[in-house]
Structure 1
Amino acid sequence: MNITEIINSRHSVRDYTSKKVDEASIHQLLNAAVHAPTAMHEEPWVFVVIQNKSLLNRLSDDVKQLLSSGGDPIHPHELTQGADQFIAPAFNVFYNATTLIVICEKPMGEFAAADCWLAAQNLMLSACASGLGSCVIGLAVTALNTPAWKKELGITAEMTAIAPIIVGFPATETPLVSRKLPEVLSWI
């Protein structure tokens, strides 16, 4: 596929098989991530790769606990109408993916978070090109930035977990979602 086909076919996958992503593939994704543009060549990203199923399940449970207790300031709206699905005991916030890659930001200036998101996009496009599914799991950001999880995952206090991305083998075909045409405010 050329880059336009990859961009147009990449979508969020929310159903994964139990097949584990191999180490070489993960290194390929991380290599794509670090080739993202970066302000002042700061490269403010570091990565945490989690493939331990029990750890992923425990993190999923902590995310649901934060949501149900109202302890997630980023997603207070998630527990409105129909949001019970996000805290149901059987729900896994990582959709049973075997790999979670967390892109963390080193505090290096006002564009560090944007640089991390550019790295995330490269990683997800590379995953698509490799036949892997991916999805940003924003629900996990608050939990990942708690002192306990930072300590357990080796994220230093001054770093911030920015982009938790699940990666894996799609269990089913995910239909593409149509997009609106670009809204141009001005073209002068």
Structure 2
Amino acid sequence: MMTDTEAIEIFSVIRERRSVRNYTDREVQDEALRAIIAAGIQAPTALGLQPWEFVVVRDRNLMRRASDYCKPLLAEKIGEESRPGTEEFLAALKRPEYSIFYNAPVLVLVLGAREVVSSVLDCTLCAENMMLAAWALGLGSCWIGSAALIQQNPDLLEALEVPDDHQVVAPLIFGYPAPLPPKPGRREPRITWIS
């Protein structure tokens, strides 16, 4: 059973965790990444199938290659949608020096087994555990959904050692946060109570 202090700490991590898009150059130790992945695999998984695998990428050149591949595809997609608030991001995607990985020192791909029906949901829960664990360890993280576009590039998949029977579900970056602006507030949820 959890103590009140432990419960308060868990709720604090959940409340304070945020997506980090600005990192220092400080290296993330292997032990921290192992602890983060160990927290990830404690996530609920349908039928106990645990359909996840992980690829840890520290190779900045490979991350740059992946970013450079994804940027024009993403820019094209955003240009087609033309929603308010996307102009700044679209302009960033067109800058050669811009990285969709925000210069984070580590990219972890959470891969899901293709033949497992619940793979995407299970790996999503795993990814959330990982991001919460990272915050508890003083690390920032961000889910880079647009990086899933690498799934369309066989050469990148080979370089990233993604097995054919798995798909990229959650591309997560980790690192030590640089100074951050205040966290944006959350809207009050709509709750329907039925008794």
Same fold by TM-score, threshold 0.5 exceeded?
yes
Q: Which residue of 2 aligns with 1:77?
A: 81
SS at match of 1:32: helix
Aligned residue among 118, 126, 129 for 2:125: 118
* Structure 1 CA distance for aligned equivalents of residues 131 and 55 of structure 2: 15
Deviation at 1:75, TM superposition (A): 9.0
Q: Which residue of 2 aligns with 1:155?
A: 162
Instruction: Return the match for 1:51 from 54, 58, 78.
Output: 58
- 1:104 touches 1:163 (CA, 8 Å); kept in 2? yes
| Rg comparison, structure with higher value | 2
Question: Among 10, 16, 19, which residue is 2:17 paired with?
Answer: 10
1:36-71 deviation per Cα after TM superposition (whole angstroms, max 9, x unaligned): 110000000000100111111121111113234x3x
Deviations along 1:126-161, whole A, 9 cap, x unmatched?
A: 000000000000111112442222111111223110
Aligned residues: 185
Q: Which runs of 5+ in 1 are unaligned?
A: none
In structure 2, the CA distance between the partners of 1:90 and 1:159, relative to structure 1 (3 Å rule), is same
Distance 1:127 1:153, change over 3 A: same
C-alpha spacing 1:12/1:91, structure 2 compared with 1 (3 Å):
same
How much has 1:76 moved relative to structure 2? 5.2
> Helix, strand or coil for the counterpart of 1:2?
helix
> What corresponds to 1:91 in structure 2?
98
Other-structure match for 1:141: 148
Cα distance change of structure 1 residues 44 and 11 upon mapping to structure 2, 3 Å threshold: same
Cα distance change on mapping 1:76 and 1:34 into 2, 3 Å: farther
CA–CA separation in structure 1 for the residues paired with 2:82 and 2:145: 11
| Shift in Å, 1:77 | 3.4
TM-score of the superposed pair, with normalisation by structure 2: 0.87
Question: Which residue, 102, 107, 110 being the options, matches 1:100?
Answer: 107
* CA gap 1:109/1:75 in 2 versus in 1, 3 angstroms: farther
CA distance in 2, matches of 1:128, 1:27: 14
Letter in 2 for 1:107: R
Q: Does 1:22 align with 2:29?
A: yes
Inter-partner Cα distance in structure 2 for 1:174 and 1:25? 25
Q: Distance in 2 between matches of 1:113 and 1:98?
A: 25
Counterparts of 1:150 and 1:173, CA distance in 2 = 32
Letter in 2 for 1:81: E
Runs of 4+ in 1 over 3 A off after TM superposition: 74-82
Matched-pair identity in %: 34
For residues 118 and 16 of structure 1, the distance between their equivalents in structure 2, rounded to whole angstroms, comes to 24
**SS of equivalent to 2:65:** helix
